[in-house]
Amino acid sequence: MQQNQMVCAYFSPCGTTKKVVCTIGEVWQMPTTQWDMTPLSAECTTIKLAQDDLLILGVPSFGGRVPEIAMQRIQQLQGNHTPAIAVVTYGNRAFDDTFAELQDGLQAQGFCVVAGIAAVTQHSIMPQFGNGRPNAADLKELQSFANQIKENMQTKEWKEISLPGNRPYLERHGGGLVPVTDITLCKGCGLCATHCPTGAIPKDAPQNTDAKKCVSCMGCISVCPSHARSLPAPMVVALTARLEKVCSERKENQLFL
Ligand SMILES: Cc1cc2nc3c(=O)[nH]c(=O)nc-3n(C[C@H](O)[C@H](O)[C@H](O)COP(=O)(O)O)c2cc1C
Ligand code: SF4
Ligand code: SF4
């Protein structure tokens, strides 16, 4: 069946998931709507897709799960037996149960998951892991995956596949990684506050970030043009020591079809 229009949706605090989803979406060359599910303002959007549309949805793996806030925003998508491609980015450790959770979320909203792509990226907390990825070779590989999916959908009757992961999913853990502001560098532009998925940053006082609302997505660090936001160094040192062993060995992109 030919698809009429495509929605490329992504939860992407630090921008790599967006890059991966858009790179994959380009292969279809069809009318496309992009939906950035990241900022708090995305809460007001609902998107309906028909059976002859296509959804590409990308999320990063946080602790081997779909970020909780992204799971909430997925409920704003409504399919009608609509085919969907599930995309998970991860920072060179593992994606654990992220695909299983994403597939369950999409099914509940009326989508049929016809393919999955796991993309290795630079780790958004510790960029020394997966550094510089996705690189040019990764992007080429992701497009070749997309071409295989497209061909498959055009030549065969598409059907739901089963993506990897355990149920029940891994327990959620982590949190507490709350960025701080160097007020001597801050120019008061408000970009971090607009970008924050949970509204944890007061626009006029980023130094007063609400730790209870912060989901440790690192988005504010990535958008700050003045490099005024960062994690306290001892936190990064402790986390690096904990994850060095499991993040250092190179991981590969994967296609599930
Ligand atoms: C809170 C948090 C938890 C993360 N957990 C994992 C993980 O379990 N496994 C992994 O390989 N990468 C993990 N990462 C890295 C991200 O999945 C990866 O950098 C992703 O590409 C970020 O997407 P973005 O650039 O769209 O924000 C984590 C990052 C954050 C901020
Ligand atoms: S304050 Fe927390 S939740 Fe908000 S953008 Fe920064 S890291 Fe993400
Ligand atoms: S983005 Fe950076 S410079 Fe702008 S308000 Fe936030 S911390 Fe300050």
Instruction: Quote the ligand 2 centre to 16 CA distance (angstroms).
Output: 16
Instruction: Quote the ligand 2 centre to 54 CA distance (angstroms).
Output: 30
pLDDT digits (tens, 9 = 90+) for 75-86: 999 999 999 999
**Distance from C-alpha of 248 to C-alpha of 200, rounded to nearest angstrom:** 32
Residue 6 has a pLDDT of 97
Residue 105 has a pLDDT of 98
Give yes or no for residue 73 CB within 6 A of ligand 3. no
**Mean pLDDT within 83-107:** 98
Q: What is the position in ligand 3's atom list of the atom closest to the CA of 195?
A: 1
Q: Which CATH superfamily is domain 6-168 in?
A: Flavodoxin domain (3.40.50.360)
Give yes or no for residue 124 CB within 6 A of ligand 1. yes
pLDDT digits (tens, 9 = 90+) for 18-61: 999 999 999 999 999 999 999 999 999 999 999 999 999 999 99
pLDDT digits (tens, 9 = 90+) for 120-145: 999 999 999 999 999 999 999 999 99
Q: In the sheet that 111-120 helps form, which strands lie side by side, from edge to edge?
A: 32-36, 6-10, 54-60, 82-90, 111-120, 254-256
Tell me, yes or no, if the two domains 6-168 and 180-237 fold the same way.
no
Percent of the chain with pLDDT over 90: 95
pLDDT digits (tens, 9 = 90+) for 147-189: 999 999 999 888 999 999 999 999 998 778 999 999 999 999 9
**Distance from C-alpha of 11 to C-alpha of 2, rounded to nearest angstrom:** 27
Give yes or no for residue 178 CB within 6 A of ligand 1. no
Residue 125 has a pLDDT of 96
Residue 1 has a pLDDT of 61
Residue 9 has pLDDT above 90, yes or no: yes
**Distance from C-alpha of 108 to C-alpha of 122, rounded to nearest angstrom:** 31
**With the C-alpha atoms ordered 173, 203, 60, 245, is the resulting torsion angle positive or negative?**
negative
**Mean pLDDT within 72-96:** 98
Place of tokens 């006029």: 204
Which protein residue has the closest C-alpha to ligand 3 atom 8? Answer: 186
**Distance from C-alpha of 34 to C-alpha of 12, rounded to nearest angstrom:** 12
Percent of the chain with pLDDT over 70: 99
Place of tokens 């049929």: 112
Instruction: Quote the ligand 3 centre to 11 CA distance (angstroms).
Output: 21
Give yes or no for residue 188 CB within 6 A of ligand 3. yes
If you average pLDDT over every residue of the chain, what do you get? Answer: 96
77 forms bridges with which residues in the sheet?
47
Ligand nearest to the CA of 211: 2
Q: Is 64 left (phi over 0), alpha (psi -120 to 50) or beta?
A: left
User: Please, which residues have CB within 8 angstroms of residue 79's CB and are 6 or more apart in sequence?
Assistant: 48, 49, 55, 106, 109, 110, 111, 112
Domain ranges of the chain: 6-168, 180-237
Residue 173 has a pLDDT of 84
Second-level CATH architecture of 180-237: 2-Layer Sandwich (3.30)
Residue 113 burial (CB count, 10 A): 24
